[in-house]
Structure 1
Amino acid sequence: MKVIVAEDQGMLRGALSALLDLEDDIEVVGQAENGEQALQMIESLAPDVVVMDIEMPYMTGLDVAEKLKERKNPCRVVILTTFSRTGYFQRAMRAGVKGFLLKDSPIAELAAALRNVYSGGRAVSPELALTFWEAENPLTEREREVLKLAREGLSAPDIANKLYLSSGTVRNYLSEAIQKLNAKNRIDALSIAEKNGWLD
């Protein structure tokens, strides 16, 4: 399997590449120090997998992943991160990222994750998976329903008619959703829920 390592810290990039190169079935064909360089290398060297830091100059690892998806490039993306922010994870999933691992994972774990991703699977560090799992959709089925109808531009009385509820109950569901999402108002709640993929 041909791999590119993209990481802006030179020492870490070199160490990662050297260690991965020791694996019989992994060949590091390029090293990039920023996102822009990574994208160019992926296009010219056609690796099977790219291992990228999430935070890099010019373009982040997620920017690169989004570009690859847009261009229908078959290279599989594995993101390395020190952050367990759920927003990052959800954006990564939307961009088609196949692996999401912590930077301090042992090299054997990284190599195993690359093999898994290369053969069509996914790989997420257990510690990260736990954080993301806990940040699952906070909205109830009913709150999602009400927000979806609000997204279509329906007023509270219209939503009430559609769902056979009273207007007061609909307003309660909306204010409950606004509160749970720490939103300023209904529009803000909709935008937060949509961005996190919580209305699908």
Structure 2
Amino acid sequence: MSIKVLLAEDMHMVRGALVALLDLEPDIDVVAEVADGNDIVPRALALRPDVAVIDIDLPGTDGLTAAAALRDELPGCRTLILTSLGRPGTFRRALAAGVRGFILKDAPPQQLAQAIRRVEKGERVVDPELAMAAWDSGDNPLTERETEVLRLAADGAEAAEIAARLYLSVGTVRNYLTSSVVKLGARNRLDAVRIAREAGWV
């Protein structure tokens, strides 16, 4: 029986290339292609794929949030993250979301098909260098709420907009941002965003 795969990638050319690559494998069948993170769970529930190959940076719901939702709503579908962002913090967030595999887009093409087969069997597939970097890196010093506030700030939201979205006061949002700057040893909010992004925490 073929391994049924859902592929989530927003760049049309990259998605097409991946589908063409996987179509060469006799035991892998791409049953769905999506470009928006909001479509992952509904399509997966409709088609019941064995493996979901998901890019992290998607419009709508980001790949890691979609992976966590997929784990909760369709536990039989295993998730493989395919990304150009080989950051230890991102890798740790992927593990927390229940992802079974994490490989980089610049890996040799044959690694993707092999990773899909291994993930479908229940194995964990991780780029070894990335695993070592995650092992050596420190934990995210920010609280969950500080991370959430900084993530919205990284997307360009002002304090008032963040406050409205998270049902907080503007003063509380500013306190979270100030705390993030201090904890990260940053010069200002923009520097805090840069540090957190480079670490893969936002």
Give the TM-score taking structure 1 as reference length. Answer: 0.66
**Cα distance, 1:135–1:14 mapped onto 2, change above 3 Å:** same
What stretches of structure 1 move > 4 A for 4+ residues in a row? 181-184
* Residue 78 (structure 1) aligns with: 80
User: 1 or 2 for the larger relative contact order (CA 8 Å, sep ≥6)?
Assistant: 2
Match of 1:120 among 122, 131, 154: 122
Higher Rg of the two aligned structures = 1
Contact 1:50-1:76 at 8 Å conserved across structures? yes
Contact 2:50-2:77 at 8 Å conserved across structures? yes
* Residue 38 (structure 1) aligns with: 40
Deviation at 1:5, TM superposition (A): 0.8
Contact 1:6-1:31 at 8 Å conserved across structures? yes
* Residue 163 (structure 2) aligns with: none
* Residue 22 (structure 2) aligns with: 20
Give the TM-score taking structure 2 as reference length. Answer: 0.65
* Residue 47 (structure 1) aligns with: 49
Distance 2:97 2:138 in 1: 19
Distance 2:71 2:22 in 1: 25
Q: Which segments of 5 or more consecutive residues in structure 1 lack a partner in the other structure?
A: 139-180, 185-200
SS class of match (2:98): coil
Contact 1:7-1:13 at 8 Å conserved across structures? yes
Deviation at 1:183, TM superposition (A): 7.5
Q: Which segments of 5 or more consecutive residues in structure 2 lack a partner in the other structure?
A: 141-182, 187-202
Deviation at 1:72, TM superposition (A): 4.7
* Residue 134 (structure 1) aligns with: 136
